[in-house]
């Protein structure tokens, strides 16, 4: 076990069976060893800095029907909203004053935001805040669309692959969606020049250790700049309402592995991790994560962007979130920095 972690730390590569063994047989002691190694690598590349991204959830309309997601098309209980360009720019204004230098525009796949509309929003943000990075997280779009948004100034794109196993993918998504297309989107984004993030939910229904090993192998192959992982958490109005949440323990273990596999990667301690455990994000940072993504969405829409139940911070003002996170991060000896927080050493 320890030798597998050492191998991962030095060569950053494990064979399929080795990775399977490491995950399957993990225990408290190996986890602590893994986290120590992951922290060493993280400190080597990023010191004790934690980058922050201001998340702007600008629409919860979605044409997709992913079985796990609270804003899926078939959820008629979801109260739908869209933010205007002015509202989005206002979020950026609030965020900039609080020290955010990356804005993440995330939403469902909403046809209302055609390429021209989004390109205009992106270029307006970049014009107003030239020292900031814009990250998009809008799901699957055409090559031309991604290209147009990149040319409008978008720097990064987050598109979790969700699972790298075909069969598992088909258990989480309706037949019109495919892993092949999802992966193709990621390769397109990379080719266009975006800093790209993939990722998956930990403990999603029907996930096996084999699925996780395939996820890690895919991440290794794609070599993304960012990897977003967080526990699956059920939403009451989805077909998976009664499926159990992913665990803190496995999520932390995987964060540690990913840090060692891709030493310079940007790795968020996600809101979902903070939702399943009161100290989830702090523990995520201590396992190798180096990014947090607090919410900048206007307070009145936050309770409507619910991908899962019991999401934290839906009642707080952006400034409160910022202060609260700063306290949390300082309490474990790290610091929130005012920086675009680009990926180093890829
Ligand atoms: N429409 C965009 C943004 C999706 S929301 C896209 O397709 O990329 C961002 C991420 O939230 C998803 O990629 C998914 O991994 C995660 N998510 C969705 N439902 C969730 C749930 N019930 N529990 C935990 N994470 C969830």
DSSP-derived secondary structure for 220-271: HHH--SEEEEEE----TTSTTTTSPPPPHHHHHHHHHHHHHHSTT-B-B--H
Question: Closest by alpha carbon to 195, among 340, 51, 342?
Answer: 342
Shortest-distance atom of ligand 1 to CA 199:
15
Shortest-distance atom of ligand 1 to CA 68:
22
- pTM, 2 dp: 0.98
Does ligand 1 have an atom closer than 6 angstroms to the CB of 65? no
d(CA 12, CA 8): 4
Note whether 346 and 194 are within 8 A (CB). no
Does ligand 1 have an atom closer than 6 angstroms to the CB of 308? yes
Region of 53 (left: φ > 0; alpha: ψ -120 to 50; beta: rest) is beta
Does ligand 1 have an atom closer than 6 angstroms to the CB of 103? no
d(CA 54, CA 135): 10
Region of 265 (left: φ > 0; alpha: ψ -120 to 50; beta: rest) is beta
Between the CA atoms of 206, 80, 270 and 183, what dihedral angle is there, to the nearest 10 degrees? 60
CATH annotation of 16-21+44-337: 3.20.20.70
Distance in Å, CA 89 to ligand 1 centroid: 24
Q: pLDDT of the chain along its 346 residues, tens only?
A: 899 999 999 977 899 999 999 999 999 999 999 999 999 999 999 999 999 999 999 999 999 999 999 999 999 999 999 999 999 999 999 999 999 999 999 999 999 999 999 999 999 999 999 999 999 999 999 999 999 999 999 999 999 999 999 999 999 999 999 999 999 999 999 999 999 999 999 999 999 999 999 999 999 999 999 999 999 999 999 999 999 999 999 999 999 999 999 999 999 999 999 999 999 999 999 999 999 999 999 999 999 999 999 999 998 889 889 999 999 999 999 999 999 999 986 6
Distance in Å, CA 2 to ligand 1 centroid: 33
């Amino acid at each position: 076990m320890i030798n597998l972690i050492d191998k991962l730390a030095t060569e950053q590569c494990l064979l399929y069976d080795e990775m399977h063994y490491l995950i399957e047989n993990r225990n408290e002691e190996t986890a602590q060893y893994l986290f120590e190694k992951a922290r060493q690598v993280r400190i080597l590349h990023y010191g004790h800095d934690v980058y922050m991204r201001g998340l702007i959830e600008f629409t919860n309309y979605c044409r997709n029907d992913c079985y796990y997601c609270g804003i899926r098309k078939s959820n008629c209980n979801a109260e739908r909203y869209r933010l205007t360009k002015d509202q989005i720019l206002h979020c950026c204004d609030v965020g900039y004053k609080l020290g955010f230098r990356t804005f993440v525009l995330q939403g469902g796949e909403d046809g209302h935001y055609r390429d021209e509309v989004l390109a205009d929003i992106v270029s307006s943000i970049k014009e107003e805040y030239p020292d900031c990075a814009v990250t998009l997280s809008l799901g699957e779009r055409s090559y031309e669309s991604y290209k147009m948004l990149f040319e409008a100034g978008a720097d990064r794109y987050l598109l979790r692959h969700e699972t790298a196993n075909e069969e598992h993918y088909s258990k989480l998504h309706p037949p019109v969606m495919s892993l092949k297309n999802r992966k193709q989107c990621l390769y397109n984004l990379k080719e266009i020049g975006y800093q790209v993030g993939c990722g998956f939910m930990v403990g999603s229904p029907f996930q096996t250790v084999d699925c996780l090993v395939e996820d890690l192998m895919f991440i290794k192959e794609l070599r993304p700049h960012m990897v977003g992982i967080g526990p699956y958490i059920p939403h009451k109005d989805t077909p998976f309402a009664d499926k159990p949440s992913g665990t803190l323990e496995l999520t932390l273990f995987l964060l540690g592995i990913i840090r060692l596999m891709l030493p310079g990667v940007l790795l968020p301690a996600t809101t979902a991790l903070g939702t399943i455990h009161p100290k989830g994000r702090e523990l995520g940072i201590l396992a190798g994560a180096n990014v947090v993504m607090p919410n900048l969405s206007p307070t009145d829409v936050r309770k409507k962007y619910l991908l899962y139940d019991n999401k934290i911070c839906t009642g707080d003002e952006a400034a409160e979130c910022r202060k609260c996170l700063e306290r949390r991060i300082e309490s474990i000896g790290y610091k929130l920095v005012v920086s675009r927080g680009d990926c180093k050493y890829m």
